Structure formats: C-alpha cells, structure tokens
Amino acid sequence: MKKFGLLVVGGIAAIVLLNTIGPMIGLLISVALLYFIIRQFLKTKSTGGKIGFGIIGFILFMSTIQHVPALIGVAAAYVLYLVYKKWNNSKLTSSKKDNDPFMNFEKQWNELKS
C-alpha cells in the first residue's frame, strides 16, 4: 500500500512538472537576462544608458514575475526526487531485512521460547 501511495504522489508530481516545464524555462531565461541587464545598469556611467537599462530591466522584471508560478514546478521536481529516494530506500531496507542474520536469529529465538 505504501508503494501505491508513492506511485500516486510521484505520478501527480510528474504531471505537474511536465505542465510547468515551459514556464520554468521562461523563468530561467528572464532571470538570466535580468541579471545581465542589472550588471550593465550598474556599469554604465551615462544617464541615458541608465534610463534605457532601467526600462529594459523593468520589462524583464515584469516577465520574471509572470513566470513565478513555475516555482510550483520546482516544488514538484523536489517532490518527485523525494518519492524516488523513498522508493529506492524501501527496496534497500526490505532486502536488508531478508539478509540480516540477526533478524533470523531473533525469529528463531522467539520460536524456541514459545
């Protein structure tokens, strides 16, 4: 039942991630462009250049704000990572329990005592 829950949560996270790939790429591009515009704004000495870079920076900032829902996709990617990690962890713990000699000893000892 635990595996089924992980499968459902992982499936939902994968669907959300696939739906938000476009906005995530848009957010990445707009943040990168905004970073370079801010750097150019700080480097320039002329007032006209600062006004031009300020206007372009404002437009890119609005584009970045438009793509903020892509953070849901980032959260979905993180949830998908946690599901993957938990899925593999449960496989390792179940195989460890089967091969653990001390667990077999405890079972046999309890059988002898009863």
CB 77 within 8 A of CB 16: no
For each of the chain's 114 residues, which pLDDT tens digit applies? 688 888 888 899 999 999 999 999 999 999 999 999 999 999 999 999 999 999 999 999 999 999 888 989 999 999 999 998 888 876 655 555 556 666 677 777 777 777
Instruction: Identify the burial level of 70 via C-beta atoms within 10 angstroms of its C-beta, where 0-12 means exposed, 13-18 middle and 19 or more buried.
Output: buried
Strand extents, DSSP E, the chain: none
CB 71 within 8 A of CB 23: no
Q: Look up the domain containing 6 and give its range.
A: 1-20+69-86
Q: Are residues 75 and 43 in the same domain?
A: no
Query: At 17, which amino acid appears?
Result: L
Number of domains in the chain: 2
Q: Are residues 76 and 61 in the same domain?
A: no
Give the predicted TM-score (pTM) of the model. 0.65
The 8-class DSSP code of residue 14 comes to H
Q: Are residues 50 and 81 in the same domain?
A: no
